[in-house]
Amino acid sequence: MQLLDGKSCSEQIRQEIAQTVSEIRASKDRVPHLAAVLVGNDGASENYVAFKVKDCAEVGFDSTLIRLDATISEQELLDKIDELNRNEAIDGFIVQLPLPAHIDENKVILAIDPAKDVDGFCPENVGKLSLGLPTFISATPNGIMELFRRYDIETEGKNCVVLGRSNIVGTPMAVLMSRNSNPGNATVTIAHSRTKNLTELCASADILIVAIGKTEFVTADMVKPGAVVVDVGQTRVPDDSKKSGFRNVGDVDFENVKDKCSYITYVTGGVGPMTRASLLQNTLKAHQRR
């Protein structure tokens, strides 16, 4: 078994980006600028956004964090997005999800200028992804593809099962893995809560990508010997032994699955850091396009 080490891979990517930023600075150009909108005080979202801001500083990007009260109206949030769309100093921005229940996430995503949608969530960018056109690819699936690329994982002709069909991870992941590209060219099945014979299906996968948000859902009997297993899950569970009072648990029962795999990611040094690096790549791309 070999670990797919997203931590070290993402460090490499950050170094590459930092190098590009120092060249941008040397040419007296404006450096890339990412804005992040955080509505409310959800603990996990606070953490994710704090990492995004920290990552920007580390590679030399400018960043702006916009904190909005959980009670903000949908229209006020849409007005803020309009302002960010027009702000010439900002190359790209994200609105951290999930949003409070009174705000329609789809309306918010539709309001973002596709040229600044570094999350790759809006219809124009999702459509371009499906057509194989250059676009901002959603950070988590893009980060997983980058891991496959950097570890030279063979995907062509392999059976790939994607567990989870979210707009952010499962669906774009399946599109990317089935595309005529390397990595890609896999035979892809999307599995979800209504899928029958899930254990058998997962156990037939050469590549199993798990993004269902259920802790330690994938057990050893669901994994084919020699499979590549990617765990997107990261759920906080209470843990009094930790200073933070919680620990992050993945969707895969890592301890019992790991020895069956050829490659496996681990929480939190696998997919998470790659997602963060992908957002930086997209922000750099947004800057370069302008």
Residues within the interface to ligand GUN (CB under 6 A):
94-97, 119, 139, 168
**Rounded-to-integer distance, Cα 208 and Cα 42, Å:** 30
Q: Distance between alpha carbon 177 and the CA centroid of its chain, in Å? A: 15
Q: Which of 5, 55, 91, 119 is catalytic?
A: 119
Half-sphere exposure of 196 (CA within 13 A, CB side): 0
Nearer to ligand GUN, 42 or 154 (CB): 42
Strand 92-95 vs strand 227-231: parallel, antiparallel, or unpaired?
Answer: unpaired
Task: Please give the structure tokens belonging to residue 26.
Answer: 């040397």
5 among known catalytic residues = no
**In contact, 253 and 219? CB cutoff 8 Å:** yes
116 among known catalytic residues = no
Residue 121 CB, nearest distance to ligand GUN (Å)? 7
Q: Which of 52, 80, 116, 224 is catalytic?
A: 52
Residue 138 CB, nearest distance to ligand GUN (Å)? 7
Nearer to ligand GUN, 210 or 261 (CB): 210
Residue 38 CB, nearest distance to ligand GUN (Å)? 10
Which residue lies nearest ligand GUN, judged by its C-beta?
A: 97
Residue 168 CB, nearest distance to ligand GUN (Å)? 6
Residue 289 CB, nearest distance to ligand GUN (Å)? 20
Nearest to 64 by CA among 79, 40, 83, 42: 83
Nearer to ligand GUN, 155 or 234 (CB): 234
**Rounded-to-integer distance, Cα 97 and Cα 169, Å:** 13
Nearer to ligand GUN, 139 or 228 (CB): 139
DSSP 220-281: GGGS-TTEEEEE---EEEE-TTSTTSEEEE-SB-HHHHGGGEEEE--TTTSHHHHHHHHHHH
Q: How far is CA 206 from CA 233, 249, 290, in A?
A: 19, 23, 40
Nearer to ligand GUN, 143 or 183 (CB): 143
Nearer to ligand GUN, 111 or 222 (CB): 111
52 among known catalytic residues = yes
187 exposed, middle or buried (CB, 10 Å; 0-12, 13-18, 19+)? middle
Q: Which of 5, 96, 206, 231 is catalytic?
A: 96
In sequence order, which residues have a C-beta less than 8 Å from that of residue 158 and are 6 or more positions away?
186, 187, 206, 207
Residue 267 CB, nearest distance to ligand GUN (Å)? 15
**Rounded-to-integer distance, Cα 286 and Cα 112, Å:** 14
Task: Please give the structure tokens belonging to residue 150.
Answer: 């950097």
Residues classed as catalytic: 52, 96, 119
